[in-house]
Amino acid sequence: MTNEHSHSATISGVSDLEDDIVKSEAQAPILTLIEDALRRAFMRFSPRNEEPELPRPRKLNAGLSKTKLPKPRIRIPSVDESDDDHDSCASKDNPRLSYTFRGKIQIPYVKRPSAIYLYPHAEMHIGQEHRDRFPQLVEILKLTVEQHSKLGRDRNWLIGTAYTLAMCGADMNSAAPSIVVFCPDDDMNKVKYLQRTLSQKHIVAQYRGATTPLFQIYVWARSYTLCGRTCDEFDIHIGQGTSLCGAAVTSPSSGERLCTVAAVLRIKNSQYALTSAHAFKRKPEIRTPDSDFVDESNVDDDFGSDFESEEESTLCEVKYDFPVQKETSLPPLTSSQMQEQSPSGKPIQSSIACQSGDLQANDEVEDLDFALLALDDPAGWTNNSYQITYQNGRNVAVSIKGSPRSLPTRPRHVRIITSNSESKTGVIHTMPSFIRNSLGNDRLCEVWVVSIDSSGAPSIGHSGSLVVDIETCQPYGHVIAVNPLGQLYVVPLRKTLHRIQQEFNTSCVGIFVHEPHPLIRQTRWSRRSNPQDPVISRNPSGSASEVQEDFVKGKTTSMFSKSSFFGKIYHKGK
């Protein structure tokens, strides 16, 4: 009995042990999870990670204001990433990329591999290495085209070429920094020669090399258009106020707009109106023999050896399908449109003092396309200013002061002071372009690019319009042309003033501003004689040309004219 009892007890003990083992094995995953959670919590707040221990507040909301939690980092996918997950994130879940890659424009005549688009607002994705290499590469491409046996002879055709840097690709995920070469489309045979010239092996090695930043190059068969009209005689019309900024330069016989006055410059003790020069000079045509583009056997060996056949003519793995004749053209302005744009105001007699073409001493100086109109009696106007019309109908003249601005490092909002009743607004880009705009000069002209808002496209006669910063009211330069993208080409005012200083051998060159009356106090004026007059206060940034207007509700018919440290502001009620 005893043996049987002990044997049964042993069997029951073994069964209990087996049950405990089974239970422990069943609970093992739960214990492992708890242990791992405790270990992660311990490692998270351990001193080895150098993270402070979170305080233990007495209440639920106590200590939250003093607790410094690590900020979450939001990663924006790069444009160069080709992963499918990144592509979907960039196109759907990233509104920032969708905004910078907005307004795409298709490059014409691209046949293979697919349609290629230019993204005019995506310049922030261009690195500094590409920005530094761009001017050097443009010079290489220019010399290559000029040394071509056929393209180099026709200088009239070369004048329409321009080089710009932009993001281009089949979509925004495959877009890459690219150099777009604009060229005239009046002779498609020359366009094909240009495309073949830039696809030579030793030229491709300059922008597709192993030690230099990689570029893509596209040929855009369309040239920029000058915004001025040529005429021998002219008058200056002041539309509103007493400022020449935005004044229309017209033809006395037809009344057509030729160009626009940018500003009044003081050179020594004289005053001149600054505008564009191409509206006053007729460029002589350089005839090219007809045989230059007929017999293709006369191509030099240096250029013909690297040319591919017509079927295999590619440029960086991009194939074109150029037509025999051009298919696009800018619609000309009709006579009825000219009559509707006829300016109003009293005419001012003037004469051309000098032009940029007359000041070119050698071929190393770029043609800045400016002209100075002599002003015999500058007492009829006040200073360089432009009109701002508010929603309540009030017109305020804002003075332009300060030194010219340099090219910004980020896009900034600007105002284009045209010869129409209302000025236009836009955005100035951070990347310059280079254009060929002179027959007697081989030097490319650096221009700044401005995209116009939906306020309207530029038209003939807007050449010479001044571009100013909306915030600081400082000038950037004057308009000379518009490219195929609808963007304005602006000549930097800094270079224009520097060229005038060299030619006139004086440092007394700048934006003309009337000297204030000696009895007027040159301090901040904040007392209002009329409670409905605007309050003028100094901007915190300290700029001498920034003005803040704080209008009080109501109507006024008084004339406000007060001088302050920031210049003169003229306000007239409705």
| Cα separations in angstroms, 456 against 228, 387, 429 | 17, 18, 18
Instruction: State residue 502's pLDDT score.
Output: 86
- Token pair for residue 150? 């056929």
Place of tokens 């710009």: 164
The full length of the chain comes to 574
Instruction: State residue 64's pLDDT score.
Output: 45
**Residue 566 contacts residue 401 (beta carbons within 8 Å):** yes
Instruction: State residue 337's pLDDT score.
Output: 37
CA dist 465 and 468 (Å) reads 10
Q: Where are the domains of the chain?
A: 2-49, 91-223, 226-282+340-511, 517-574
Q: Which helix (H) or strand (E) holds 488?
A: strand 488-492
How many other CB atoms are there within 10 angstroms of residue 366's CB atom? 22
DSSP per-residue codes, 375-391: ES-GGG--SSEEEEE-T
Place of tokens 């040239």: 223
- Token pair for residue 133? 């290499």
Place of tokens 């195929």: 484
Alpha-carbon torsion, ordered 103, 108, 110, 116, to 10 deg: -10
**Under 8 Å CB-to-CB from 392, ≥6 apart: which residues?**
551
Cross-strand pairs, 428: 412, 450
Indicate if the alpha-carbon torsion angle 289, 295, 298, 300 is positive or negative: positive
**Residue 198 contacts residue 176 (beta carbons within 8 Å):** no
Cα–chain-centroid distance for residue 52?
47
- Token pair for residue 9? 């007890």
How many other CB atoms are there within 10 angstroms of residue 501's CB atom? 15
- DSSP strand pairing (176-182 vs 216-220): parallel
Query: Which runs of consecutive H residues, i.e. helices, occur in 45-154?
Result: 84-92, 95-100, 128-146
- Which stretches of the chain drop beneath a pLDDT of 50? 10-11, 14, 17, 22, 48-54, 57-67, 69-92, 284-314, 329-343, 515-574
Query: Which runs of consecutive H residues, i.e. helices, occur in 161-315?
Result: 188-198, 201-207, 301-304
Average pLDDT of the chain to the nearest whole number: 70
CA dist 500 and 507 (Å) reads 9
Instruction: State residue 396's pLDDT score.
Output: 82
CA dist 434 and 145 (Å) reads 14
**CATH no. for 226-282+340-511:** 2.40.10.10
Instruction: State residue 44's pLDDT score.
Output: 62
**Under 8 Å CB-to-CB from 215, ≥6 apart: which residues?**
130, 133, 137, 176, 177, 178, 179, 207, 208
Instruction: State residue 233's pLDDT score.
Output: 67
Alpha-carbon torsion, ordered 474, 476, 480, 486, to 10 deg: -100
Instruction: State residue 547's pLDDT score.
Output: 34
| Cα separations in angstroms, 362 against 37, 358, 359, 366 | 78, 11, 9, 9
- Token pair for residue 32? 């492992």
